[in-house]
Chain A
Amino acid sequence: MAEQMRVVTKDIEIPGIDTLAVYQAHGGYAALRKALAMEPVAVMEEVKISGLRGRGGAGFPTGMKWSFLAKGSSKPTYLACNADESEPGTFKDRMIMERLPHRLVEGVLISAYATGTKTAFIYIRGELKQAARQVGRAIQEAYDAGLAGKNIMGTGIDIDIILHRGAGAYICGEETALMESLEGKRGYPRLKPPFPAAAGIYGGPTVINNCETLSTVPLILANGGAWYAGIGTEKSKGTRIFCVSGHVNKPGNYELPMGTPLRTIIDDYAGGVLGGKRVKAIIPGGSSTPMLDASKLDIPMDYESVAAAGSMLGAAGVIVLDEDTCIVGAVLRMTEFYRDESCGKCTPCREGTYWLVELLERLEHGGGRGSDIALLRDICDNISGKSFCPLGDAATSSIISSIKLFADEYLYHVTQGRCLVGEGARQAIAAH
C-alpha cells in the first residue's frame, strides 16, 4: 500500500503516543514552547502563511478567521474546538482524539495563545466516549506537567482547557448551536449576526475551529507555515485526512496531500471497491455533500476541483457506493438521518425533512407515484436556501444530486415498484 503523508497524524503509529511522555519524546509540545516564545501575532501570521483552511467543512482560512476576533470587548474571549464530529462518513477527529490527544491539546494551547484567549473549550460529540476519555486524560497530563493552566512552561501565560461533552445532536456541530449547547441550553443555531468572532460563547468574542484544524497547528509551528503551504495545491494547501467508507475493501482514515485524485484514494489506499465491483456513486465530503457519479473518479480532491465537479470537499468523508447500491434506498437512509437530526427550529427543515422521508420511503417500498419525483425536487427547493441554518440545505444535497444523476432508478421504483439493483431488486412488487 502506498504511504500516507503524515502531518497531522505524524507518529500516530508509535505505541503510547497518546501519553505525554511518549508524545514529548517525539517532539511533542516543542511547537508550543516555540509559539510561546513568539509574539501571538507572529504565531497567527505563521498560520496565515500556511494557508490552512478549516477542516470542518466550509474551508475558511484559519488565520483570517482568527484575525476577525473582535478586539476591545468587555467580555473575555474564548476558543472553542469543534469536536462534535457527527457528519455521516466522517471519523477523522475521533481518531485524532483517541490516538493523538496531545496533538489536539497542543494545537488548542497554541491557537489560544495566538488569539489571546485564556479559556478554551473542547466540545466533544457525546457518543465519542473513548475520545473524551483520552482528551480528558491528555488535558490532565498537560496540567500536571505545567503545559496548561496557570503559568504555562514558566512563561506566565495562563490558558485553561475545559472539556465539554455533547449530548448527541448533529446540530451541535453547527458552530452557534454548539455554543448554545455549551452554555447549557437547547442546541438551536443562533441568529447571525452577531457572528461568533463578535459575540459567541457567553457573549464573548469566540474563535471556533474544527478538531483537525487545531491539530494541524503544532506541525505548522514546528515546521513553518511556508513548509505547510508547500504541500497540496495552490489554493488547497496541506494535507487532508480522507475518511473513506462504504463499499471499499479497506475503509479508514488516510492522510494525503490535498489534490490527491479520488481514484488514487479509493484504489491505492482504501483497497479498491469491495468485491471488485464498479463504483456507482461517490459522496466526496460527507453525507451533506452532493453525490458524484463514477465519471468524476479522476478529480483531484481539493476544494476547488470538487466544487468544479458539482460537489463539496466538506469534511472529506468519502463514501463509496458500488454498482449494486439502490440509490433511492441510500438517499432514504441519509434523509432519515437529517429528519431525525433536524433541531426543529425552522419550518422548512422540521416539516420538509419529515415529508421527504415519507415520500422516499414510499418510493423505495413500491408505493411511489410518478409525481413524487418532481415533488421531492420541489420540496428540496422549498427547503434549500429557506431554512435557518445549513442543515436544511444539507438534507437536500443527496436528493437533488441523485435525482439528477440517477433519475432512472427513481423512475424504476415508480413503474416497477422495486429497486433497479441490489437486494430490493429481487423482491416482489409491493401491493398498493
Chain B
Amino acid sequence: MSQPTNDVPMVNLTIDGRQVTVPKGTVVWKAAQLAGIEIPIYCYHPKMPPLGACRMCFVEIEKMPKPPQTSCTTEVTEGMVVHTDTELVKKARQGTLEFLLINHPLDCPICDKGGECELQDFTLRYGPGASRFDLKKRHFQKPIPVSENVLLDRERCIACQRCVRFTQDIAREPGLIMEERGFRTMVGVDPNAPFDSIFSGNTVEMCPVGALTAKSYRFMTRPWELRRTPSVCPGCAVGCNVRVDVRVDRVLRLMSRTNDAIDDGWLCDRGRWGYAAVNDPDRLRVPLVRKNGELREVTWDEALDAVAQRLRTLSPAQIGGIGSTHTTNEEAYLFQKILRDGLKTNNIDHFHGVFPAASMNASSGATGAMPWVFTGTIAGLDHAQEIILLGADPYQQQPVLDLRIKKALRNGARLTVISAEPSRIDRIAHRVMRIKSGGEAAIARTLTQVVVAEHLWRGTFAEVNETQLARYGERLKDYTPERIAIAFGLEAEDLRTVARTIAGAHGAVIVYDEMTTRTTGNETLAADVLDLGLLTDNVTQPNAGVGPLFSDANSLGARDMGVLPDVAPGYRALAKPGLDYAAMLGGGVRGLWVMGADPARHMSDPAALAKLETLVVQDMRLTATAQYAHVVLPALSYAEKTGSFTNLERCVQAVRRAMPPLPGARADWEILRAVGNRLGLNWTYRSPSDITKEIATSVPLYADLTREALGSQGQRWNFAGGREADGVLSDGGQLPANGSLPLSH
C-alpha cells in the first residue's frame, strides 16, 4: 500500500533510533514494520483503513500531546521521533493485553490457532506474566456456525472487527455484523442476511485469534506440523498466490501469499477449499487397461505400452488430442509436441471460448493486441474509471476479481453490468442492463456504432485508421442504439451514455467471460470488444483494458502453448490446420488422447465416445470420459508437481510441489515423456525445468522464461512478447497487420 512512487514525497523519521524513510501518508505502524520493528497490533489490516480499536499498537511520539499514541492511526511527519519501548508504552501494551485476556479462554492447547496466534505471541512477547483478573470468565455456546464453512468460538473473539470490516467494506456483502455493545459486543450474523459470501474464508485467515475457524481445518493439525509451500491457486484464471499447507500427505489448507498485483491478499472459498480434490480417496492410483470390455488394473509398463501400440496403429489423420486448461504450461507444451512431432497430427484442441482464428494474428502475434488476451492488468483495475462487465460474472467465475472491482469502486470507478443473468454485483453497480443471452456482441457493436457515429474515437489507432472508420460505421449501421434498445428492452440513451463514458474515461475496462463467446450470437464478441477498445483508446491506456476473463488456471497457457489445431506454440500459423474440438468429438478421429479434460461433459451424447477405436485418458479421477477409455493413466494434482500456469493477464507463475506424489500416480509430463520415448522420440527431460527451457528458446512469446525469473510472485509476459514490453499501439501506433479489427468481420 505504501510502495514508493515518483509522485509521493518521502518522509524521514526516527523509530527507536533508526532512520526510516517512507512515503508521505504512511502510518507509523507501517513505517516501523518496514524498518523491521515489531509493534503488536490486532485491528489493523494492511488492506483496510485504520480503525484504532484494539489499542495495542501504542508508541510514544516526541512532542505530541497525550502520549501514548496509537501507531496505526498516526501518519508519519518529517522529523518525527518515535519510541516503541518506553515504560509508558510497555505499560499500555500490558494493560491492553490484560484486558483482552480477562475473558479469553486459555484453551490454546486445543485451539487451532495455537502456535500461530497473535494473541498468544504478543502476550508472550509483550504481556504481563500473570493476570490480576480473578473472576469468572464469560462462556458461550460453541462453536457457532456463522456459515456453511466457518465456525465461531465467541469467547475467543477480541472484537478487532477485521472480519466484519472485511465483509462490509472489502467484499461489500451482508453477513457478519457487530452485535450488542460494550462488554457484550460480539460478532454475529446479520439476522436479515446469511453469511453466504464466496469470500468467507478470508475472515478465518484474518482472524488474529482462534475465534473464526474453517470447518475443514478444525482440529486437523497443529500449525507447526504443516509443511508450507508457495504455489498458485488452481481454481480459476486469476492465479491467486497461495501457500499450500500439507500435513504428511494431505493438503489441510490454502493460505494467501498476498500478491498485490494479482490477488491483493485475498482468496475465494472455491479456491481456498478446492483442495478436497487432491485429498480425494477416490483418486486413481493404478493404471487401467480395458480387457474384455472392463477396465482392469495393470502395471505402468503395460499401460504405457498399450498406449504406444494403439496410437501407432492409427494414421496421423485418425488421431486427435484434447488438452487441458488445468495442466501446466510445460505439460500443455509437451502434449502438443507429442501429437505434432510424435504422431504427426495437428488434430489438437481444448475446450475454450470462441475467438478469431489464432492464426490470423500470426504475423503480428508478437507485437499486436490479441483478442483472446485481456489487454489490461488486474492491478490496473484499481484506478480504472469505468468498468463494463459485458456478459461476465467474476463473483462466480473469477471471484477475486470481484473484490478488485469493488476496490476500484471505492477508488471512484463506475460499474456497468450488461448481462443476461442477474449477478451479485448488480446491487452495487451504477448501471445494470439486462439483455438476452447471446446479445453481448450486438451490444459491443452498438457501443462502437455510437463511438463512430458521434465521432467519439480517440487515440493513435483511431487516428491512423480514420479513413476506414466511415466504412466501418457503414458496416455497423444496423446496430443503432434505438434498434438494439427495442430488441433488449433498454433505453437507447443509456446505450449512448455507456458508449460516451467508455470513450471519455481515463481508463475504461471492458471484459466478458470467455465462455460468453460460446453463446449463439456472440461468435464475434472478442473482435467486437477489441474494436471498441481500440477505437476508444482503452487497449493500452494505463488502467484500461479489454478482453476475456478466462475460466481456468491455465486457460491462456493452453492457448499460448499451442494446444490449438491451427497454430504451433506462440501462435505460429500452421499450413495445414487440424481438426478442432467439436470435429474431433464429432467423429472426425478414430483415436483420441485426452489429458486432464473431461469432454464427455460437453457432449450431448457421451456414449459416442464408445465408438472410438482408441481412447486414452490421463486424469486424477475416473471421469465420465475415462469410463469410455481403453487406457486410463492416473495423474497428479498441481500440489504434487512443479511447472507454471499463465493467468488471464499473462502473468506466468510457478507451481511448486507441495507434497509427495500419490503413490501409483504420475505427473502428466512424466506420462507424456514415457509415451514419447515409446514412440521413439528419445526425450531426455529430467524435470519440468528442462521443458521450461525449451519453451523459452522455441516460443518467442515466452522468450527468456526461466523458473528463476518467475520468482515467488510470477512475471507478466506481455502480449508484445518478452517481459513487460510496451504495448504496440502506444508505441508507434501501427495497427496489428491483420488483427481482429473492424476490418476482420
Q: Of A344, A346, A355, which is within 8 A of B55 by CB?
A: A346
Q: Quick check: which of B98-106, B261-269, B527-535, B687-695 contacts chain A, the rest being far away?
A: B98-106
A346 touches B53 (CB 8 A): yes
Interface of B is mostly: loop
B58 touches A386 (CB 8 A): yes
CA distance A344 to B182 in the complex (A): 4
Known contacts: A382-B98, A382-B99, A386-B68. The answer to whether A340 contacts B182 by CB under 8 A is: yes
B52 touches A388 (CB 8 A): yes
A355 touches B102 (CB 8 A): yes
A352 touches B99 (CB 8 A): yes
* Most chain B CB atoms below 10 A, which of A345, A348, A358: A345
CA distance A352 to B92 in the complex (A): 13
Chain B residue contacts of A339, Cβ below 8 A: 182-183
* Most chain B CB atoms below 10 A, which of A347, A371, A388: A347
Cβ of A102 to closest chain B Cβ, rounded Å: 35
Residue A342 at the chain B interface, CB threshold 8 Å: yes
Q: Mark B72-91, 1 if CB is under 8 A from A, else 0.
A: 01000000000000000001
* Most chain B CB atoms below 10 A, which of A191, A346, A348, A351: A351
Closest residue of B by beta carbon distance from A171: B181
A346 touches B185 (CB 8 A): no
Residue A387 at the chain B interface, CB threshold 8 Å: yes
Query: Which residues 345-385 of A have a CB within 8 angstroms of B?
Result: 345-348, 350-355, 358, 371, 375, 379, 381-383, 385
Interface of A is mostly: helix
Residue A98 at the chain B interface, CB threshold 8 Å: no
* Most chain A CB atoms below 10 A, which of B56, B95, B102: B95
Q: Number of B residues whose C-beta is below 8 Å from A?
A: 33
Residue A186 at the chain B interface, CB threshold 8 Å: yes
Chain B residue contacts of A341, Cβ below 8 A: 181-182
Residue B159 at the chain A interface, CB threshold 8 Å: yes
Closest residue of A by beta carbon distance from B49: A191
* Most chain B CB atoms below 10 A, which of A340, A346, A381, A385: A346
A344 touches B135 (CB 8 A): no
CA distance A358 to B96 in the complex (A): 18
CA distance A348 to B68 in the complex (A): 14
CA distance A350 to B103 in the complex (A): 11
B132 touches A375 (CB 8 A): yes
B56 touches A344 (CB 8 A): no
Cβ of A376 to closest chain B Cβ, rounded Å: 11
Chain A residue contacts of B102, Cβ below 8 A: 351, 354-355
Residue B184 at the chain A interface, CB threshold 8 Å: yes
Residue B63 at the chain A interface, CB threshold 8 Å: no
A351 touches B68 (CB 8 A): no
Q: Of B58, B73, B159, which is within 8 A of A350 by CB?
A: B159
Q: Of A191, A375, A382, which is within 8 A of B52 by CB?
A: A191
Q: Of A171, A351, A382, which is within 8 A of B183 by CB?
A: A351
Q: Mark B130-161, 1 if CB is under 8 A from A, else 0.
A: 00110100000000000000000000001101
Residue B54 at the chain A interface, CB threshold 8 Å: yes
Residue A343 at the chain B interface, CB threshold 8 Å: yes
Cβ of A169 to closest chain B Cβ, rounded Å: 7
B184 touches A347 (CB 8 A): no
Query: Which residues 371-423 of A have a CB within 8 angstroms of B?
Result: 371, 375, 379, 381-383, 385-388
Chain A residue contacts of B291, Cβ below 8 A: none
A358 touches B135 (CB 8 A): yes
Residue B194 at the chain A interface, CB threshold 8 Å: no
CA distance A344 to B95 in the complex (A): 17
B185 touches A347 (CB 8 A): no
A343 touches B182 (CB 8 A): yes
B53 touches A345 (CB 8 A): yes
Closest residue of B by beta carbon distance from A345: B53
CA distance A355 to B131 in the complex (A): 12
CA distance A304 to B469 in the complex (A): 79
Query: What class of interface size applies to chain A in its complex with B?
Result: 20 to 34
Query: Which residues 31-64 of B have a CB within 8 angstroms of A?
Result: 50-56, 58
Q: Mark B416-435, 1 if CB is under 8 A from A, else 0.
A: 00000000000000000000
Residue B708 at the chain A interface, CB threshold 8 Å: no
Residue B180 at the chain A interface, CB threshold 8 Å: yes
Closest residue of B by beta carbon distance from A169: B181
CA distance A151 to B61 in the complex (A): 52
B99 touches A351 (CB 8 A): yes
B182 touches A382 (CB 8 A): no
* Most chain A CB atoms below 10 A, which of B52, B99, B133: B99
Q: Mark A136-175, 1 if CB is under 8 A from B, else 0.
A: 0000000000000000000000000000000001010000
Chain B residue contacts of A346, Cβ below 8 A: 52-55
Chain B residue contacts of A171, Cβ below 8 A: 181
B100 touches A347 (CB 8 A): yes
Chain A residue contacts of B58, Cβ below 8 A: 386
Residue B66 at the chain A interface, CB threshold 8 Å: yes
A347 touches B56 (CB 8 A): yes
A344 touches B54 (CB 8 A): no
Closest residue of A by beta carbon distance from B104: A351
Query: Which residues 151-187 of B have a CB within 8 angstroms of A?
Result: 158-159, 161, 178, 180-185
Cβ of A105 to closest chain B Cβ, rounded Å: 32
CA distance A351 to B51 in the complex (A): 18
Chain A residue contacts of B73, Cβ below 8 A: 191
Query: Which residues 313-351 of A have a CB within 8 angstroms of B?
Result: 339-348, 350-351
B132 touches A353 (CB 8 A): no
* Most chain A CB atoms below 10 A, which of B51, B53, B68, B180: B53
CA distance A388 to B72 in the complex (A): 12
Q: Of B66, B96, B159, which is within 8 A of A344 by CB?
A: B159
Cβ of B742 to closest chain A Cβ, rounded Å: 40
A354 touches B182 (CB 8 A): yes
Cβ of B136 to closest chain A Cβ, rounded Å: 9
Q: Of A191, A344, A383, which is within 8 A of B184 by CB?
A: A344
Cβ of B178 to closest chain A Cβ, rounded Å: 6
B178 touches A344 (CB 8 A): yes
Cβ of A121 to closest chain B Cβ, rounded Å: 23
Pick the 8 closest A-B CB pairs, nearest first: A344-B185, A382-B95, A354-B183, A351-B99, A342-B182, A344-B181, A347-B55, A345-B53
Question: Given A341-B182, A346-B53, 8 other A-B contacts at CB below 8 A?
Answer: A191-B73, A343-B182, A345-B161, A346-B54, A348-B96, A350-B159, A354-B102, A355-B133
Q: List 30 A-B contacts (CB under 8 A).
A: A169-B181, A186-B178, A191-B50, A342-B181, A342-B182, A343-B181, A344-B159, A345-B51, A346-B54, A347-B56, A347-B96, A347-B158, A348-B55, A348-B95, A350-B99, A350-B159, A350-B185, A351-B102, A352-B99, A353-B183, A355-B99, A375-B132, A382-B96, A383-B95, A386-B55, A386-B68, A386-B92, A386-B95, A387-B55, A388-B53
